Amino acid sequence: MHESEFRSAPSAADSVAILLTRAGQRVMRAVDAELAPFHISVTQYLVLSQAARYQRPSAGALARYADLDSGAMTRMLDRLAEMGLLERLHDPVDRRMVRLRITEHGRRTLVDLDGAIVRAQETIERIHGAADLDRFRACLQDIIGDTAVRKERA
C-alpha cells in the first residue's frame, strides 16, 4: 500500500463548518474586490437586492434575510439611504412599521452590482467548474433552508 492510501479520520479543522468558513472567506475576497469600486459591502448588496425584489419589504424581513440584528440593520439602512439607494416609508396603516423602497438610483446601481457579482462568480467557475458549483450551491441552499428558491429556479 502507498502512503496516500492511508486516510486519517477527519479532524475538527476539516469539519463542514470550518471548511465553509474558510471557503467563504476566499470567495468573499473575490466578491469584495468586484464590489470595492462601488463602496458597497456584500451584506449591503444582499439587502439592496432583496429590497428591489419585493414590493416595499419591512426592515425586519430584510434583517432576517441578511441575518442582522436590528441595530446593525438600522445602521445599514442609514448608510444605503445616505447613498441614495433606498428610502424609508412609513406604512400608511401602521406608522410604527417602516417599509423600504429602492430608489431609481438604487435600481441603476444594482444593475452594476449584479454585474460585479456575476464577474466574481465567473472567476470562481473558471477555477472549479460550473457543474461542481451547481451541486455545491444546491447543498448550501439545503443547509440554509432555501430549497424553495432552488426549486423555483429549476
150 domain-assigned: no
**Residue range 42-60, pLDDT digits in tens:** 999 999 999 999 888 888 8
pLDDT for 34: 92
The total domain count for the chain is 1
Residue 64 and residue 78 in contact, taking contact as beta carbons nearer than 8 Å: no
Domain assignment present for residue 118? The answer is: yes
Q: Domain of residue 87: give its range.
A: 15-128
pLDDT at 75: 94
Q: What's the confidence (pLDDT) of residue 153?
A: 52
- Whether 9 is covered by a domain: the verdict is no
- pTM of this prediction? 0.74
Flag whether 123 is in a domain: yes
150: Cα within 13 Å, side-chain hemisphere: 14
- The CATH number for 36's domain is 1.10.10.10
Residue 149 domain-assigned (yes or no): no
What's the chain look like in SS3? CCHHHCCCCCCHHHCHHHHHHHHHHHHHHHHHHHHHHHCCCHHHHHHHHHHHHCCCCEHHHHHHHHCCCHHHHHHHHHHHHHCCCEEEEECCCCCCCEEEEECHHHHHHHHHHHHHHHHHHHHHHHHHCHHHHHHHHHHHHHHCCCHHHHHHHC
Question: How far apart are the C-alpha atoms of 140 and 146, rounded to whole Å?
Answer: 8
Residue 3 lies in a domain: no
Residue 13 one-letter amino acid: A
Cell triple for 5: 492510501
Could you say which residues of the chain have pLDDT below 70?
1-10, 146-154
- Could you tell me if residue 106 is inside a domain? yes
Q: Looking at the domain assignment, is residue 10 inside a domain?
A: no
pLDDT of residue 150: 47
